[in-house]
Structures are given as structure tokens and as C-alpha cells.
Amino acid sequence: MSKAISQVPFAQNETVKSYEPGSDEVKNLISTYRKMWKEKTEIPMIIGGKEIKTETKIQLTSPHDHHHDFGFYYQGDMSHVDMAIEAALAAKNKWNALAWEQRASIFLKAADLLAGPYRDVINAATMIGQSKNVHQAEIDSACEFIDFLRYNVEFMTELYAEQPVSDPGIWNRVEYRPLEGFCFAVTPFNFTAISGNLPTSMALMGNVVVWKPSDKQIYAAKVTMDVLKEAGLPDGVINMIFTDGKETAERVLAHPDFAGLHFTGSTKVFQGMWKMIGDNIHNYKSYPRIVGETGGKDFVMVHHSANIEAVATALVRGAFEYQGQKCSAASRAYIPKSIWNQVKDVMASQIKTIKIGSPEDPSNYVNAVIDKNSFEKCKAYIDRAEASNDANVIIGGKYEDKKGWFVYPTVIETINPYYESMVEEIFGPILTVFVYEDENWENTLKLVDTSTPYSLTGSIFAQDRYAIDEAYKALENAAGNFYINDKPTGAVVGQQPFGGSRASGTNDKAGSKMNLMRWVSARSIKETFVPAKDYKYPYLG
């Protein structure tokens, strides 16, 4: 057991590499990408530390070249779900008994492995499997993931240090126990960092985990497991399975030892899982923790005092980076009539210079959307806008799927603030703009607040401080991450804890102490040094 009150290394954000043209950084990353592109990788599930292979091999293809396969993974069934639960429960006691410093060490080591020898590998896997360009891969799979690991260790120690006061003669303590049973992590395709954070944050707090990554993110998920193994994570603490989402949820959520769900993905899927948990509530040994970060319809609200170039740039970056496939992507903008033409011109001139294609060419700012479904969904929104009386496609509107799932940055202008692409999450590079009369500023703030069920991220652009203050108050509950004169994407761990409420999630703020709180169950301990020896209190005389 620990014989010191250890201090963990001071967490700092990993510096984002710039990958300038011709630099060694970019040459090394692209050469790793090319090497991995040619390899045919074979990805087994990892259960109880063992590689599990099945008869069912599923080909892995890249979004920007769907004829190219870079290997396959082994698909599991419900027997593998059971196996993963058993392996987790078998690992539980030993993992629970391990001193926190030992746990911390594993995840700090994982962070250093990602920052060093695995950086190019996890970035390249994310570029190939999820079609992220060099910069998007770097800020996600390297830096944000590393930040999650390092900051969570620091937040864990802050949490452990939160202790009650003690009256004379007694000593009060609070111990932060892992949850009884096993935890379930279900992760989305769009962020390697989130995919890594969901299972590791629970494991860091002493829990054992069954992890089901998205089948569109399996390549980088494999690298995550390789890193954790090399960092010394004991077998069975995190078990990675490739199984059908719905069936797996039904199986896992019916288990009496299910103790917590850490989910990131779409709103509908999360609501379905919550319902399953409700239906099973009488089966569980304890009330499970439910954390879900879900969909968004993130806004940019512009005041007529705003800086034109800043608004246009925030819209271009916020809406089109990673093809608009960030939960935080700007997807609806409200722009006053007096400045709309200028904003539109600057946006159009910026978008004209955007290159689209494979991440292998780092000068491509936009790459492919994740799969055929996403491509078809974007295409349908664009086609309907072209045909609508309420909307016009004013920039972009092109798409092509011969080689990869490419959708060009598209701006739709609508006269209807409730037009479908103003209120529904599309998850593609499509921005819809509603132009309002300048004098309708207040009513437009109400529209921003009430026209969608979501509340994830949002920005306000203004130079006028009274306008900023008004928006700040009127939109208090419209976004869990609120930006002033900045794009609504790009939250940094340790700086802007991330998460939304309403239909966007339980707002348990990934990358913060608030999140870690959900994966522990506190025990209060009171010790009396000299116990009373007579029942009579003084008032009894």
C-alpha cells in the first residue's frame, strides 16, 4: 500500500504540432500513413487480455477511398459480450485493490506513449479509418487523448483530496470507491480521443469496463488498446468487443452487475439505452450511473456590430472542419441583414480556396464523410434544399462518391427559421443561414434558444458589449459550451470542460472532475478515538 501522499505530475496541454509543408513532422506522419495504408491489418477483439478471433471477418475500407481495404476485424456475437463481462468481473478485485498511484502510472505512461512513439501511428490510423486530415488527427487522436489521460489523473487526485472536516475526538474521511459491478463504454466514430477517454476515465477510477467502439473507428481503437497494453494495463480491466450495438446493449444492460454507462453518440441511441436501463431497473444490484453526450445543432448568433472577417472565418472553420462531423460543428447561423452580403462574400471567397480529397495530401482541408449512409443523408438534404421554396443552396452543393464519400462545403440560405436543415442534426459539411432583420435581434435570440431540442455548443459574435451581455443571458440554457467571438468547436481538456444538456446529453463534462465523480461511489468513514461509555447525555441530569 502507498506510504506517501504522492503528487502527480502537473498536467499541461500537449502542444499541437503544426505539420508545416516540408517539415520532418509532416514527412514522418505521411510516410507512416503510406506504410499503414498498404498493410492489411487484422484486428481481433481483446477480452481478458486475449486476442479473440471469430469466423466473421469484416473488411475495413477508408471513407476517402471505399474501394481500398486496409484489413479486417473479427466480428463477435453475444457469447463475446458474456465473455467480456466475465473477464471484467474476474479482473475487478485485483484492480480495485491496486494503489491509485499504480493506476495513475499506467495512464500517464499511456499518455507519454501517445505523445512519443505512438503519435504518428494513432494519427495515421485516424486519418485512414476516419478520414481526418493531418491537423484534425493531431488535435484529436494525439493531443486531446493525451490531455484526457493526463488531466484525468490530476482530477482524480483533486477528487481524492476532497475530505470532510473533523470535530475534536473524531476523524472523518471520505473514500472514493469504484462502482460495484462492471461499467459499459459505448463510443462514437468521430473522435479517437472520446473513444479512448470513455473507457479509460472509468478504469482510472478503479472500475472494470466492457468497451464497444463504433465499427467506423476500429482501427484507431485497436491502437488505443495496443498503447494501453504497452502501458501495463492489466488483462480484463478494459475489454474491447466488436458486436452489434443494439443487441450488445440489450445484453449488457440486462446484467445484474451492470453499474454504469459512459456513452457518446446520437441522441436517439442514448435514449433507447436509457429506456432499456429503466426497464431493467429491478434487476440491478445498485442504481447504475448514466452518462451520455449526444447530438447537437450548434448555433452561431451574429449581432450587427460583429467583425465580418471573424464571423466568416468562424463559420468556415466551425462548419466544415472534419466535414462538419463534430458534435460541436456550427450548423445553423443567424445573421443580420445589414452585414449578410459582406459575410457571404468573405465566406464564399474563403470556401473557394478549400481543397477536398484524401488526408494523404495535407493541403486538403476537407476530406470524406464517414460512410455511404452519411453521404446519402447529406446528399438528400442538399437535393431537398435545391428543390425547396424555403431554401437556396448558395455555396457548394456538390457531392461525388466514385472514389470516396465526398461532400463539398455547402451553405444553404433559408427564409424559414424552422427549415429542416436549421433544426435537424445532419452531421456533414452543411451550414444553414437564416438572415434576420437587424431590429429583430431579441426575437432571434428566442428563436436560437427554442427552435431545436439540443443544447450543446453555440457562439455569439458582437463587438457591442451590451449585445454580448444580452445574448449571454438569453442563451443561458441554449449551450453547455458557449463561445464569445469564437467558433463553437475545439474545446480543450482542462480549459473548456465539454458537454451539453437538453437533448444533447447529461452534461457531465468530459475531461473534468465532474465526470470522474460519476464513476465513484463515496464511502464516509467516521472514527471515534475515545467512544462514550454511558448512554446518558448531560441534559438528562
Q: Which of 143, 183, 327, 378 is catalytic?
A: 327
Which of 139, 505, 512, 518 touches ligand NAD (CB under 6 A)?
A: 505
Which residue, 109 or 513, is less far from ligand NAD as judged by CB? Answer: 513
375 binds ligand NAD (CB under 6 A): no
> Minimum Å distance from CB 253 to ligand NAD?
9
491 binds ligand NAD (CB under 6 A): no
CA distances from 415 to 296, 306, 412, 435, 442 (A): 22, 22, 10, 7, 18
- 522: β partners: 176
**Where does this chain touch ligand NAD (CB under 6 A) — which range of 157-165, 187-195, 221-229, 389-397?**
187-195
Instruction: Give the torsion sign (CA, 330, 144, 150, 197).
Output: positive
> Minimum Å distance from CB 421 to ligand NAD?
15
Within 409-428, which residues bind ligand NAD (CB under 6 A)?
425, 427
Burial class (CB in 10 A: 0-12, 13-18, 19+), 50: middle
Comparing C-alpha atoms, which of 514, 525, 524, 519 is closest to residue 179? Answer: 519
429 binds ligand NAD (CB under 6 A): no
Tell me the C-alpha distance between 103 and 201, whole Å.
11
- CB count in 10 Å sphere of residue 221: 28
- CB count in 10 Å sphere of residue 284: 18
Does the active-site annotation cover 162?
Answer: no
> Minimum Å distance from CB 184 to ligand NAD?
10
Binding residues with ligand NAD: total (CB under 6 A): 31
Go through the chain and tell me how many residues it has.
541
Does the active-site annotation cover 413?
Answer: no
How many helices and strands, by DSSP H and E, does the chain display? Answer: 17, 23
490 binds ligand NAD (CB under 6 A): no
Identify the three-state secondary structure at position 385: helix
Which residue, 296 or 397, is less far from ligand NAD as judged by CB? Answer: 296
Which of 249, 435, 475, 516 touches ligand NAD (CB under 6 A)?
A: 249
296 binds ligand NAD (CB under 6 A): yes
Q: Is the separation of the CB atoms in 147 and 492 below 8 Å?
A: yes
515 binds ligand NAD (CB under 6 A): no
Within 32-61, which residues bind ligand NAD (CB under 6 A)?
none
Tell me the C-alpha distance between 431 and 329, whole Å.
9
Give the per-residue contact string, 317-356, with ligand NAD (x = CB under 6 A; - = no).
----------x-----------------------------
187 binds ligand NAD (CB under 6 A): yes
Which of 178, 265, 324, 458 touches ligand NAD (CB under 6 A)?
A: 265
Which residue, 64 or 509, is less far from ligand NAD as judged by CB? Answer: 509
295 binds ligand NAD (CB under 6 A): yes
Q: Is the separation of the CB atoms in 485 and 462 below 8 Å?
A: yes
Within 266-285, which residues bind ligand NAD (CB under 6 A)?
266, 269, 272-273
Which residue, 19 or 320, is less far from ligand NAD as judged by CB? Answer: 320
Q: What is the DSSP code (8-state) at residue 168? A: T
**Where does this chain touch ligand NAD (CB under 6 A) — which range of 185-193, 200-208, 230-238, 437-445?**
185-193
Q: Is the separation of the CB atoms in 158 and 520 below 8 Å?
A: no
Q: Write out the DSSP string of 89-126.
A: HHHHHHHHHS-HHHHHHHHHHHHHHHHTTTHHHHHHHH
136 binds ligand NAD (CB under 6 A): no
What proportions of the chain, in percent to the nearest 5, are helix, strand and coil? 40, 20, 35
All cell numbers assigned to 366: 476537407
- CB count in 10 Å sphere of residue 23: 12
**Where does this chain touch ligand NAD (CB under 6 A) — which range of 54-62, 188-196, 313-321, 517-525?**
188-196
> Minimum Å distance from CB 292 to ligand NAD?
8
Query: What is the strand order of the sheet 289-293 is part of?
Result: 50-52, 45-47, 238-240, 209-212, 182-186, 258-264, 289-293
Q: Which of 138, 144, 154, 293 is catalytic?
A: 293
Residues at the interface with ligand NAD (CB under 6 A): 186-191, 194, 212-214, 245-246, 249, 264-266, 269, 272-273, 293-296, 327, 425, 427, 456, 498, 500, 504-505
Hey, which residues are catalytic here? 293, 327
